[in-house]
Amino acid sequence: MRNLEGKYCIVTGAGKGIGKAIAKRFLLEQAAGVAILEWDLELAKATAKELDPTGEKVIAVKCNVADSDMVKAAVDETLAKFGRIDVLINNAGVTRDRIFHKMTDEEWHTVIDINLNGVYNLCKFVVPLMRDQESGAIVNISSTSLLGNPGQANYAATKAALQGFTRTLGKELGRKNVRVNCIAPGHIDTDMMRAIGEEKLNAAIARLPMQRLGDPDEIATVAAFLCTDDSSWVTGQTIMVSGGASCT
Ligand SMILES: NC(=O)c1ccc[n+]([C@@H]2O[C@H](COP(=O)([O-])OP(=O)(O)OC[C@H]3O[C@@H](n4cnc5c(N)ncnc54)[C@H](O)[C@@H]3O)[C@@H](O)[C@H]2O)c1
């Protein structure tokens, strides 16, 4: 496993959950550097230390992806440290679930600002760098909720939007040797998933074809595939990684 040798990577929201698993996987793939862009800096620092006790490869950078100025500063800081950015994983995301007719403006806008505008903000500053160096890989973390999920009108809207965004950037950036893909995870065992409560979780698991939650590492392996030359002819795609849930 050394497919990311020499590559410098950004993973947003990698303090825990899926993002952390991706950062860990990238180190296994011999990435030259991984920047954890997190709004919870203490969490990011603890994760960086856990993944890379020597502090040589992983950096923790404070960043709320919804804040354009903070994103610019975080990308600049990463660039100053690493010298280039080869891989961008737009993973940071939140839920504010509520049936639509009761959903507040705040719940709507928070999810749009982080899950969709956050991806825009990162791409705004990273895409020009990748265009100039004529190489790069971007993976946006969507969700099978893009198919529609009661209580998640805000979340599903952002995750479906990422699919169109990914297709468009894939088409625009292909000639610059920059590939852009999307992963739509199903039910993955993280704090976000467990926040729905044990009863709802057990009911959801019972409906899943594989009768279990996915592990964050099972998303990380697909992210690694999409960022290495193993997927050199894959761009603009959304890969459902859901243990078959998106087939039902
Ligand atoms: N867990 C699932 O079942 C599941 C399923 C489909 C898609 N996803 C998506 O995967 C991604 C990761 O989810 P997870 O389950 O690991 O969630 P999580 O809540 O366990 O972790 C999310 C991380 O993102 C960080 N974060 C949140 N908002 C941020 C912001 N504005 N700026 C910077 N960092 C921020 C949090 O601090 C946290 O470390 C999200 O985009 C989520 O929508 C998760």
How do residues 59-112 score in pLDDT, each as one tens digit? 999 999 999 999 999 999 999 999 999 999 999 999 999 999 999 999 999 999
Q: Report d(CA 22, CA 29) in Å as an integer.
A: 10
pLDDT of residue 248: 59
Note the helical H segments in 112-232: 117-133, 153-173, 191-194, 198-207, 216-227
The residues, ordered by sequence, that sit 6+ positions from 216 with a Cβ below 8 Å of its Cβ are 17, 18, 20, 21, 22, 188, 189, 190
Q: What is the CATH number of the domain that holds 220?
A: 3.40.50.720
Domain that holds residue 210: 8-238
pLDDT at 2 over 90: no
* 129 in a structural domain: yes
- Tell me the pTM: 0.98
* 109 in a structural domain: yes
The mean of the pLDDT values for the chain is 97
* 248 in a structural domain: no
* 180 in a structural domain: yes
Is residue 36 in contact with ligand 1, taking CB distance under 6 Å? no
Is residue 113 in contact with ligand 1, taking CB distance under 6 Å? no
* 245 in a structural domain: no
* 85 in a structural domain: yes
* 243 in a structural domain: no
Domain count, the chain: 1
Query: Distance from the CA of 175 to the center of ligand 1, in angstroms?
Result: 31
Query: Is 120 among the catalytic positions?
Result: no
Query: Distance from the CA of 115 to the center of ligand 1, in angstroms?
Result: 9
* 88 in a structural domain: yes
Is residue 16 in contact with ligand 1, taking CB distance under 6 Å? yes
